[in-house]
Amino acid sequence: MKLELLHTLKHPNSVYAVAYSPDGKQLATASLDNSLKLWDVATGKELARLTGNGDGVCGCAFSADGKKLYSASLDRSVKVWDVAAAAAEATYTGHGGYIESFGISADRTTIATGSHDKSIRVLTAENGALVATLSGHADAVFSVALSSDGKQCISGSNDGTLRLWDVAKASSRTLTGNDGVPQAVCFSPDNKTVISGGNSGLIEFWNFASGERFQTLEGHASPVKSLAIARDGQLLVSGGHDATVRLWELPSGKLLATTEAHKNNVYGVAISPNGKQVASASFDRTIKIWAIV
């Protein structure tokens, strides 16, 4: 198995995140040029540029019907965009520091943002209502992910810790023995497993209920910057500081493909809804769309 390059897309500045629309026909990209772009996946054509943020955009995700796009920015805000109109229709604020990380539940009802103010804000996607403020980290929150229903959360911080959260109770447990600062995290589709990317290049699997680490994947030569899991839970893609993109089989952990994807850190990865493509976003200012063949 390998990753075959289909398209190379560009921003004027580093690209922080990438997301497929629910039907897999569009791609959204978030950049430190303060904008998002929408792309036609089949042709690689730029469809729209979404502007209005006061700083770089660090995360993005489509709504369940694909009509809206949610984004998080270093300007401390979350914006809701009308995809057809390519215009912002709402802005959610509340953090006291830069937003560094962004996550959305698989059912697309709940958003989480991690900030340099050391907190995580969990919001209702539809109207920005505050569900919970999760406090406990001693430094900036570099990575955050929500379970499929938004009731559980995992976060990684520059304080070197991984925390597992019960959102309703705003309470957490701290995992022990993780591989340094967790800069990427995600949930398995069944919410039973959380996955974290480590500082030395390890990918670690943890049982959410027990907090026990039960599997470790080795391959990246330096910090893991991004993770994404397929809808069926059978594939994991990782992007690293080593500029590579790697595709893994789950649950075996077998490395299926490695590609020297970019010239700099791979800060965002995504798997298409049909599981046949991977998109990667890099500090080298490019986004690449790959076929899994």
Task: For residues 237 and 199, give the distance between their C-alpha atoms in angstroms, rounded to a whole number.
Answer: 17
Task: For residues 123 and 210, give the distance between their C-alpha atoms in angstroms, rounded to a whole number.
Answer: 26
Full residue range of the structural domain in which residue 95 is found: 3-292
Task: For residues 270 and 122, give the distance between their C-alpha atoms in angstroms, rounded to a whole number.
Answer: 22
pTM of the model: 0.95
What pLDDT, on the 0 to 100 scale, is given for residue 42?
98
What pLDDT, on the 0 to 100 scale, is given for residue 47?
98
Number of domains in the chain: 1
Question: At 226, which CATH number?
Answer: 2.130.10.10
Contact 77, 122 (CB under 8 A): no
What pLDDT, on the 0 to 100 scale, is given for residue 31?
98
- Sign of the alpha-carbon dihedral angle for 202, 116, 147, 14: negative
What pLDDT, on the 0 to 100 scale, is given for residue 12?
96
Neighbours of 82 (CB within 10 A): 14
pLDDT tens per residue across all 293 residues of the chain? 999 999 999 999 999 999 999 999 999 999 999 999 999 999 999 999 999 999 999 999 999 999 999 999 999 999 999 999 999 999 999 999 999 999 999 999 999 999 999 999 999 999 999 999 999 999 999 999 999 999 999 999 999 999 999 999 999 999 989 999 999 999 999 999 999 999 999 999 999 999 999 999 999 999 999 999 999 999 999 999 999 999 999 999 999 999 999 999 999 999 999 999 999 999 999 999 999 99
Task: For residues 35 and 42, give the distance between their C-alpha atoms in angstroms, rounded to a whole number.
Answer: 22
CA end-to-end distance (rounded Å), the chain? 6
